[in-house]
Structure 1
Amino acid sequence: METKWLHTFLSAAKTENFRKTSELLFISQPTVSVHIKLLEAYLGCKLFEKQGRHIFLTEGGQRFLPYAKEMVDLDERGFETIQRYKQGFETTLKLAVSPLIATYSLPYILRDYLSENPNVEVEVKVVESEVIEELVLSGVCDLGLSRMNGKFKDVTCQVVQEDPVLFVVPHDGMDLETAPGFDIDQLLQDNILLTQNHPEYWEPLLEQLRHLNYTFRSMMVSQVEVTKRFIEQGIGLSFLPRLTIRRELLEGRLLDVDFPGLSLPLAKTYALYKRGKSEASLFLHRMKQLYGT
């Protein structure tokens, strides 16, 4: 039995059409038919039946389908393993990282880690914080870097970075040394508060603002990058981690303003992992060295 027969079988089972299968696999339609006939002869079982222009799996084909998928998957994993070995990789570290951390923190950590561990292949899956712990728990990923604290007892959670949150407003075009102080009430009345760009600190912040009797209009904007762009365009203002706006502050595109009476939170980065993952431990150790945690 040849692997190419299995690929043709799986594609035909998915498309339910030999012509579409030939287009998908870049082979001729007669070749598709030959592959299926050879596979049926090898198994001694008819795999498809034809109804009009479509084909459908027989009961035998349905029974064989999961095994065909497993064999193809095993073949691909074996090929990938050999390719990694040829490239000098001895092990693999699979990371699940939130978009924010992947953009602002991961490049610096990863650069140092790879220079010190050239024999480790790193795979980075960029996903929202809400699903990172489940990927670690299921074993799909070895280490998660999330903006949310963990909740499962089988997953270890550690704070590896803390970043001050700043009150960020559009630049008013005036020289900061000569401009008058900002009126917080006026700022909140004249601008929309852009909220929910972080999964942890917004609810406590909003509760504080209400407790201090501030009146404001709000707009939910779930991404930090979009929030920054909106602030630059004068659409609103927000509370953002300092790490995400350092460049904009230096270039004068955004301003951070003191907010008297408000206790600003820390934006935390959490490392999520299961005990016994040596590659995850090494990466985490390097991250702690960089951030002093």
Structure 2
Amino acid sequence: MEIKWLKSFVTAVECGNFRLAAEKLYISQPSITVHIHQLEESLQISLYERNHTQLTLTDEGQYYYYLAKDILKKIEDSKRKLSLYSVQKRTLLKVAISPILVETNLPNILFQFTLRNPNFEIQIIVEDSKYMDEIILKDEVNLAIGIGTSKQTIIHSEKLCSSPMQLIYPKGQDSSTSKRLIQLEDLFERYPLFTGHLDEAVSFEAQLELHFPTMRKMNISQSYIVKQFVKDGLGMAFLPNFIVYQEAKNGLYNIFHFDRFLLPTIDLYIRHIKENEKITPLLETIRNSYNSIK
């Protein structure tokens, strides 16, 4: 059974004769006759009674008219829905981000991208930077953003920014230049130092212990918990500037301009196997966003 047979039959019934049906469908009248005959053979039932030049719908023909009309409507509906689906179909991008980036502006960058590009859908996966190569190679994510470069030659690493380390401590402590040395000693006497949330901080902990022998440490693995504890007045911590500057600006904690010795910088990288049409729009958005805040 072909759609054109159904169209010829339904149109012939609605027009009342084959000639008008042929004109409406822009085909020849013999074509209408052939289509209806083929439809009858397919159904193995007569749709018309034929008395010389007179054609009258049989009871079966009258009943089948409504069925055929419904079939054509469903076909058109399915074509419309498929077309709509094709237009609205979204490209799913899986993005891994380091836990340290959860409370930065990165989630908002990703959110704003989806608003401007409704054909994209983003799934965020929070993963430690040291496991990002593994999930990229397993094709579990399209790209990953975290601290440090990839150790795999097949994975492309692109630096987004370098951020100095900052010492943050609770509000209410004097941070004036004239009292800086005294205050630094006082801070290490007053507060424990949160550690364990950033591998890069391990490199200078020994130096800190030489300068501040009475230093107390408290190991906390998640940076967002560290920041909250500092806000609550429970301790202090070294964190990259890019994850603390906004909250410090908003007065949620203080930044001490540590200059006892040179602190390391933290490099933020975006990693992916290769750039392609699927991820290029998002890559460009992330690059532009970080370029604007450098």
TM-score (norm 2): 0.62
Q: Is the CA contact 1:147–1:198 (under 8 Å) kept in the aligned structure 2?
A: no
**Percent of matched pairs sharing the same residue:** 23
Q: Using the alignment, how far apart are the partners of 1:226 and 1:209 within structure 2?
A: 22
Q: Shift in Å at residue 236 of structure 1?
A: 1.6
Listed as ranges, the matches of 1:216-255 within 5 Å are: 216-255=215-254
Instruction: For residues 53-103 of structure 1, give each alpha carbon's deviation from its aligned partner in whole angstroms, at most 9, with x where no partner exists.
Output: xxxxxxxxxxxxxxxxxxxxxxxxxxxxx8x94671353222111233233
Q: Using the alignment, how far apart are the partners of 1:252 and 1:277 within structure 2?
A: 42
* Aligned partner of residue 161 in structure 1, secondary structure: strand
Listed as ranges, the matches of 1:39-54 within 5 Å are: none
Aligned to 1:121: 121
Specify whether residues 178 and 102 from structure 1 end up closer, same or farther in structure 2 by C-alpha distance, changes over 3 A only: closer
Aligned to 2:281: 282
Q: Using the alignment, how far apart are the partners of 2:111 and 2:122 within structure 1?
A: 11
Q: Shift in Å at residue 142 of structure 1?
A: 0.8
Q: Is the CA contact 1:159–1:271 (under 8 Å) kept in the aligned structure 2?
A: yes
- Give aligned pairs, total: 210
Aligned residue type for 2:146: S
Q: Using the alignment, how far apart are the partners of 1:91 and 1:251 within structure 2?
A: 37
Structure 1 unpaired stretches of 5+: 1-81
Q: Is the CA contact 1:163–1:268 (under 8 Å) kept in the aligned structure 2?
A: yes
Q: Is the CA contact 1:89–1:118 (under 8 Å) kept in the aligned structure 2?
A: no
Bigger shift: residues 138-147 or 182-191: 182-191
Specify whether residues 148 and 247 from structure 1 end up closer, same or farther in structure 2 by C-alpha distance, changes over 3 A only: same
Q: Is the CA contact 1:142–1:277 (under 8 Å) kept in the aligned structure 2?
A: no
Specify whether residues 284 and 244 from structure 1 end up closer, same or farther in structure 2 by C-alpha distance, changes over 3 A only: same
Listed as ranges, the matches of 1:257-268 within 5 Å are: 257-268=256-267
Aligned to 1:273: 272
* Aligned partner of residue 278 in structure 1, secondary structure: coil
Q: Using the alignment, how far apart are the partners of 1:178 and 1:194 within structure 2?
A: 24
TM-score (norm 1): 0.62
Q: Is the CA contact 2:98–2:129 (under 8 Å) kept in the aligned structure 1?
A: yes
Aligned to 2:155: 155
Aligned residue type for 2:265: L
Q: Using the alignment, how far apart are the partners of 1:253 and 1:150 within structure 2?
A: 34
Specify whether residues 248 and 118 from structure 1 end up closer, same or farther in structure 2 by C-alpha distance, changes over 3 A only: closer
Q: Using the alignment, how far apart are the partners of 2:170 and 2:222 within structure 1?
A: 17
Q: Alpha carbon RMSD of aligned pairs, Å?
A: 3.0
Listed as ranges, the matches of 1:80-119 within 5 Å are: 85=85, 88-119=88-119
Q: Shift in Å at residue 233 of structure 1?
A: 3.0
Aligned to 2:29: none
Specify whether residues 277 and 211 from structure 1 end up closer, same or farther in structure 2 by C-alpha distance, changes over 3 A only: farther
Aligned to 1:43: none
Q: Shift in Å at residue 135 of structure 1?
A: 1.0
Q: Using the alignment, how far apart are the partners of 1:229 and 1:95 within structure 2?
A: 25
Aligned residue type for 1:220: N
Q: Shift in Å at residue 249 of structure 1?
A: 2.0
Q: Shift in Å at residue 122 of structure 1?
A: 1.9
* Aligned partner of residue 208 in structure 1, secondary structure: helix
